[in-house]
Amino acid sequence: MAGEDWGRSVDLADVSGRVAIAGVGETAYTKASGRTAREIGAEAAERAIADAGLRPEDIDGLTYNGAFDDFDEAAFHEHFGTSHDLWSSKWGGGMTWAGTAPHLAARAIDAGKARHVLNVFPVAWATQRSSMTGGPGETHASQPLKQNLEVPFGFFPQPVYFATIMRRHMLEFGTTEEQFGAIALACRRHANLNPDAVMHDKRMTLDDYLASPVLAEPLRMFDSCLISDGGAAYVTTTLERARDMPQPPAVVAGVGEGEVHSGGHWSQQREFTSTPQVFAAPSAFRMAGLTPADVDLLTVYDPFTVVSMMQIEDMGFCAKGEAGTLAEDGGLAHDSGRLPFNTHGGLLSHAYVLGIAHVVEVVKQLRGTAAAQVPDADVGVYGGYTGGNASTLILRRDR
């Protein structure tokens, strides 16, 4: 599929081993908190900077998402009372770009534009939910093409898109409802072990999953991500500098990015049961000099169980159509599985903060400080996804 003309791999410079994530910070992950996204972003930034053993004035680079610019350069300076020069890019933050932000940082550092680059992504969607159209579908509802060619025919919002993909996956590969449920259960078990997860105290059985309300057949409520408030941040710097900082470095081994020509219009994507990971993952593994068999844990952007399933397959961790069996056989467990998966609980059971917490979880695993710790974790991968594009970020322990 990677050779077909429905998408492409983005050409990225080789940054393997040049930079590392040296500090991470998280806020509480909650239902509606009453806080603004800017307030949440400021707290996450404070904690990441402190974790790296730095001061705000040491941060001379900032990446965030321009579509959700809640903690941009102005917010940084206003919060910290600083005024120094700050290299910045709007192509960071969460989702796909939580995986490519370290590449941006590496390029800025190589060019002498920054020394320590902070990536931040906060959301207050649980607080804002009552004012949104279709929940996170609000940004889709504002797009003219969707307004005119999809919404009038009922193809809106996201649960409808992915219900159709689930059904197609079931028809093509024999995937069962119970196998989708196994992915949800794996994430929930990890969340039950994680005191920071929104669903920490909410146990779930397969019977609970099968009894949950159907949102758009065959997609159930427990196939769907949470709506949350919260945020996270991380600091990227050179590996040499990171080695002198308080925390063990999480070395950037490989970065890949892929995109499809149909963008966020799922109905037009030629390979309906695939993701742009088929273009992103191979280049990331080549950059890292590794293969999927070398990976000790995987976190992926998981708005729905089927998106988890497709990315596991598309990134090369099993053949197409086999992720359901892998999940059903217990292969995603942190302590006994073949592929420890979303070990913090993911968007499905940890919090919906759009992937930034997934990267932080990989860093924690490599440090050996995660709640559901994978024994001897040496290589961890984040798979970012935003419909029309995807990223693969490979991190490893310092050697």
Enumerate the active-site residues.
Answer: 301, 352
Closest to 384 in 3D by CA, of 266, 233, 259: 259
DSSP at 228: -
Contact between 34 and 127 under an 8 Å Cβ cutoff? The reply is yes
Bridge partner list, 122: 231
Determine the angle formed by the axes of helices 37-51 and 73-80, rounding to 10 degrees. Answer: 70
Contact between 7 and 268 under an 8 Å Cβ cutoff? The reply is no
Name the phi and psi angles at 146, rounded to 5: -70, -40
Q: Residue 153: which residues within 8 A CB-CB, separation 6 or more? A: none
Closest to 48 in 3D by CA, of 71, 65, 27, 70: 27
Q: What single-letter amino acid sits at 299?
A: T
Angle at alpha carbon of residue 52, lines to 51 and 57, rounded to 5°: 110
Q: What is the largest CA-CA distance in the chain?
A: 58
The residue written with tokens 């310092």 in the block is: 398
Contact between 379 and 122 under an 8 Å Cβ cutoff? The reply is no
Q: Residue 130: which residues within 8 A CB-CB, separation 6 or more? A: none
Contact between 373 and 391 under an 8 Å Cβ cutoff? The reply is no
Name the phi and psi angles at 61, rounded to 5: -145, 145
Burial class (CB in 10 A: 0-12, 13-18, 19+), 325: middle
Burial class (CB in 10 A: 0-12, 13-18, 19+), 142: exposed
Give the CA count within 13 Å in the CB-facing half-sphere of 65. 25
